[in-house]
Amino acid sequence: MELEARVRQMLDAGDPAGAATETLRAVGPPALRYIRSLLRDEDDARDAFSVFSEAVWRGLPDFRGASSLRTWAFRIAHRASSRVRDEAWRQHRERLATTQASRLAEEIHSTVPRLERQRAGLERLRATLGDDDRSLLALRVDQGLSWAEIAEVLSGDETPLDANTVTKRFERLKERLARLARKEGLLE
């Protein structure tokens, strides 16, 4: 049975904890990789993943399926990363209370093997990107989301993006990265 169908079945059966556990086990590892690629700091990634897990746990019973479960989860991961990047968050640095969601987040975080660092040149190139470009690259290349899914993840509440806009941004980003890669001698 597909993840979304299993989760919907659990929610319909009155088992939101089981549905959230199933969701976090399935989308938690790729969401953690996405968060790590955005924040590039293990402590910040841990905090953002905890925020993400709590939001999935609390929000899943209200999930209505307007988008895919995966897209919904990546949108939450994007917002959690942004929240951790926010300076006010850093000043307060309050740890979330240890709950079932937090314990599950820690379990997933510790069981997902650390990603092998990509070549040093590629990392240097990614480090030169702004948050939006790094997020776009991670969602498309690392996570394989469709243009429509990426547009939904990156859309602000007041400024929705469409897939064509995201595609054009990605094409410009690829051209810029290719120029930088040639300049760094990473491409022949």
Residue type, 173: L
Q: Dihedral of CA 49/51/54/58: which sign?
A: negative
- C-alpha 73/C-alpha 128 separation (Å) is 27
Kindly provide the b/e burial profile for residues 122-146, where b requires at least 16 CB atoms within 10 angstroms of the residue's own CB.
eeebbeebeeebbbbbbbbeebebe
Judged against a pLDDT cut of 70, whether residue 13 lies above it is answered with: yes
What CATH number has the domain spanning 118-188?
1.10.10.10
Q: What are the sequence ranges of the domains in the chain? A: 1-115, 118-188
Question: Taking the CB of residue 103, how many other CB atoms lie within 10 A of it?
Answer: 11
pLDDT at 86 over 90: no
Name the residue with higher pLDDT: 90 or 141.
141
> Does the predicted TM-score (pTM) go above 0.75?
no
Out of 31-45, 84-98, 125-139, 154-168, which region has the weakest mean confidence (pLDDT)?
A: 84-98
